[in-house]
């Protein structure tokens, strides 16, 4: 730990900031935000001579006097350009010279060792050139679209945007979000085959070599057929390696060749400009052109990972040589996108010299484009030129060392180990030790918790027993389940007669659910036959975002009612009533898993997500900045255990509050030897030292349940409750 006192001037004021280098540069920006109300993404920090301070290394080399400037509009664009230039020029002149020299030496060596085997390159590429033409078949498009739950994926795409606060996305944003949901759905719906189960008894099989394809198999391009003998009944099971994606829509199984083949068809069926990526070191995946990013985006359907092209070199430890992008209108060498070790890769490219390779690819591309108009060809060539410039720039960009890539996830463990693509069961996801400041889009969670209060008050008044109260909530939950199962844009259901002893009480209480319906963007109204209908009140996506929260909240309330000695006014205390929950704050953490275990997942109110800190078992932290920098008294908080891996549960922690946004901290609560008995268990804690007004809170998690069994920390949810204002 290195402590520094920094004097930061902003407008006409100067602030003394105690900066702990262990906390990182983002925490400093967080502190400045609390002092100046300039959001972290609007901060430009200047050192001597106007030098822009953009990370810890910049900060270490300057004096302790800084100047903070708020950026916006044109100035923000200028600063972004300056930052990009700094990133692009991150290599020193000496490093760049070494890289160029190494590249020249590799090219010279290639001149002596390359076999100039144009035929070998063409023979490996041409089958894939023929294959991608199948992706343009309208019949295959139609058959592919029929197998996809489009409405559900569109809803999930809009939910993902809504959880970021984007309830009015552009078509480009929607298309990009749908593509990612298509990727995640495909990952869950397609099956990886190590060795197929026995056709006769379903037991495990072992390889018996190759067989000859029959006419039914060759009809769908299965030139290779693997044979497997059952370990139990000795029956032979055939595993044809189909190349026609139309057949793969039916079988929905295979290895990376089948996965990428079928997924690329899906991408084309939904109108995405797509291409198949062939890696000569034995892997295949997909790229789609992203209008929102203005470039090609890497998508690996086997792994369910997107836009992380260094996955193979840094995660799988692959020694890449040739990576080609194969599309209906051209073939391109994109190896440089997937490496930061170009001289090393170049030394392994010994099949053909670089000029000869470029000529081969140019010939294939020219042939594929010969029927296109000159205008289309010109546009494609301009895009090719831009892509090559971007790839060259990124090749020399400084690595983001905070991002950790996983080893290969698809395939059984022994197979991955044999290919040297397995890292460990613990390092099985993308992670980052440099978490940005994120905003919690969770006001709907607070509104749902608050809306349960009048419902519970009336339950005491109307319900003769705990059982009746639970039944009333179950009736309401069943109505919402029926609503959830309907198409999300037109949700509407009738409150039908309920065969329950509590049905009459529920009918009397229905009006008291209005606040809860409003929190779900729903409303009740009179139906055509005099029935009472529950239907959408506003944006259907807001309902989709909120429904999982209310299901989990109702489950918790029903459980807590069951735990009460009896249902009366004295039982209606926290945590049964979760009043004054803090929401819409900013969150910063010591690390996070990407993209599903980010810091804000701890505050989204659902059991379907969690905050995961890949290196948190040895200690980690999360900071919550109160919305609008308000000063509040924290009186209680609640944790929920995550879905799996109890060894990662929090065991010891300290809760601190800050009255100056994190410049200094005051102890509020400390817990040791805590234990969660089951998954999704909620545990409530009252603050042991209340009365301290804070605008930021920090949890420092000191130990997990079993640090010898894991390097990770995880928590399902965190809820913070303020005292009455």
Catalytic residues: 256, 283, 300
Contact of 211 with 238, CB cutoff 8 Å: yes
**Whole-angstrom distance, CA of residue 477 vs CA of residue 471:** 10
> What is the four-CA torsion angle of 626, 629, 635, 637, rounded to 10 degrees?
10
Q: 416-420, long-range: CB within 8 Å, 24+ apart, which pairs?
A: 419/282, 420/317
629 Rama class: left (phi>0) / alpha (psi -120 to 50) / beta: left
Dihedral (CA of 624, 626, 632, 638) sign: negative
Strands (DSSP E) found in 58-128: 65-70
Write 351-354 long-range contacts (CB < 8 A, 24+). 351/114, 351/115, 351/117, 351/120, 351/121, 351/322, 352/114, 352/115, 352/116, 352/117, 352/118, 352/120, 352/121, 353/110, 353/111, 353/114, 353/116, 354/107, 354/110
The H or E element containing residue 613 is strand 611-613
- 595 prior amide bond cis, ω within 30: yes
User: How many angstroms separate the CA atoms of 311 and 338, rounded?
Assistant: 8
Rounded CA gap, 73 and 172, in Å?
23
| Number of Cβ atoms within 10 Å of the Cβ of 416 | 17
Residues 159 and 153: their CA atoms lie apart, in Å, by 10
Quick one: how far is CA 102 from the chain centroid? 37
Longest Cα separation, the chain: 91
How crowded is residue 504: how many other Cβ atoms within 10 Å of its Cβ?
11
306-326 burial: b if 16+ Cβ within 10 Å, else e? bbbbbbbbbbbebebbbbbbb
In angstroms, rounded to a whole number, what is the distance separating the alpha carbons of residues 333 and 275?
Answer: 12
Q: In whole angstroms, how large is the CA radius of gyration of the chain?
A: 29
The Cα 265–Cα 270 span in angstroms is: 9
Q: How many angstroms separate the CA atoms of 660 and 584, rounded? A: 18
Q: How far apart are CA 720 and CA 675, in angstroms?
A: 20
441: phi then psi, degrees, rounded to nearest 5: -100, 80
């Amino acid at each position: 730990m290195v402590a520094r006192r920094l004097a930061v001037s902003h407008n006409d004021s100067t602030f003394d900031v105690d900066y702990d280098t262990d906390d990182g540069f983002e925490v400093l920006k967080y502190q400045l935000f609390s002092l100046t109300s300039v959001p972290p993404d609007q901060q430009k920090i200047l050192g001597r001579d106007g030098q822009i301070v953009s990370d810890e290394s910049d900060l270490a080399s300057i004096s302790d006097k800084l100047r903070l400037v708020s950026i916006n509009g044109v100035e923000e664009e200028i600063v972004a350009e300056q930052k990009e230039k700094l990133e692009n020029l991150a290599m020193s002149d000496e490093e760049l010279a070494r890289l160029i020299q190494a590249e020249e030496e590799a090219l010279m060596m290639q001149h002596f060792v390359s076999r100039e085997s144009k035929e070998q390159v063409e023979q490996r590429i041409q089958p894939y050139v023929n294959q991608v033409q199948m992706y343009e078949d309208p019949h295959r498009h139609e058959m592919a679209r029929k197998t996809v739950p489009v409405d559900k994926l569109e809803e999930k795409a809009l939910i993902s945007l809504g959880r970021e606060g984007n309830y009015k996305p552009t078509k480009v944003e929607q298309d990009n979000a749908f593509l990612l949901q298509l990727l995640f759905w495909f990952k869950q719906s397609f099956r990886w085959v190590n060795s197929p189960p026995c056709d006769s008894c379903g037991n495990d099989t072992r390889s018996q070599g190759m067989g000859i394809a029959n006419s039914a198999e060759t009809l769908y391009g299965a030139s290779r057929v693997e044979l497997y003998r059952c370990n139990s009944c000795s029956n032979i099971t055939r595993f044809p390696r189909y190349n026609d994606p139309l057949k793969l829509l039916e079988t929905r199984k295979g290895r990376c060749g089948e996965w990428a083949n079928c997924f690329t068809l899906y991408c084309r069926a939904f109108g995405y400009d797509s291409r198949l990526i062939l890696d000569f070191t034995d892997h295949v995946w997909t790229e789609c052109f992203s209008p929102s990013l203005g470039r090609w985006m890497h998508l690996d359907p086997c792994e369910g990972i997107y836009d992380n092209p260094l996955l193979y070199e840094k995660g799988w430890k692959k020694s890449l040589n040739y990576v080609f992008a194969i599309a209906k209108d051209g073939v391109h060498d994109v190896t440089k996108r997937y490496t930061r070790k170009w001289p090393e890769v170049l030394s392994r490219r010994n099949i053909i010299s670089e000029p000869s390779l470029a000529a081969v690819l140019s010939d294939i591309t020219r042939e594929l484009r010969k029927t296109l108009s000159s205008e289309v060809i010109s546009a494609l060539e301009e895009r090719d030129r831009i892509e090559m410039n971007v790839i060259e720039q990124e090749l020399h960009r400084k690595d983001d060392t905070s991002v950790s890539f996983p080893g290969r996830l698809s395939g059984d463990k022994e197979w991955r180990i044999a290919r040297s693509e397995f890292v460990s069961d613990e390092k099985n996801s993308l992670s980052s030790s440099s978490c940005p400041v994120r905003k919690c889009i969770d006001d709907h969670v607070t509104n749902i918790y608050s809306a349960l209060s009048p419902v519970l008050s009336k339950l005491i008044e109307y319900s003769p027993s705990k059982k009746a109260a639970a039944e009333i909530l179950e009736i309401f939950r069943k109505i919402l389940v029926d609503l959830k199962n309907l198409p999300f844009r037109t949700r509407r259901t009738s409150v039908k007669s309920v065969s329950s002893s509590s049905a009459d009480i529920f009918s009397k209480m229905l009006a008291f659910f209005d606040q809860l319906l409003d929190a779900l963007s729903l409303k009740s109204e009179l139906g055509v036959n005099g029935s009472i209908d529950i239907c959408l009140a506003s944006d259907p996506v807001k309902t989709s975002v909120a429904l999982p929260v209310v299901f989990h909240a109702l489950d918790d309330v029903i459980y807590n009612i069951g735990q009460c000695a009896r249902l009366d006014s004295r039982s209606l205390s926290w945590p049964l009533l979760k009043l004054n929950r803090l929401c819409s704050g900013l969150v910063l953490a010591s690390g996070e898993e990407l993209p599903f275990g980010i810091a804000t997942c701890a505050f989204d109110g659902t059991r379907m997500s969690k905050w995961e800190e890949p290196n948190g078992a040895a200690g980690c932290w999360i900071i919550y900045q109160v919305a609008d920098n308000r000063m509040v008294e924290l009186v209680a908080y609640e944790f929920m255990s995550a879905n799996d891996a109890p060894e990662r549960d929090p065991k010891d922690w300290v809760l601190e509050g800050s009255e100056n946004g994190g410049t200094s901290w005051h102890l509020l609560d400390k817990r040791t030897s805590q234990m969660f008995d089951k998954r999704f268990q909620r545990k409530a804690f009252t603050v042991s030292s209340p009365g301290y007004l804070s605008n930021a809170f920090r949890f420092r998690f000191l130990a997990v349940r079993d640090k010898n069994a894991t390097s990770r920390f995880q928590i399902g949810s965190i809820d913070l409750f303020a005292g009455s204002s």
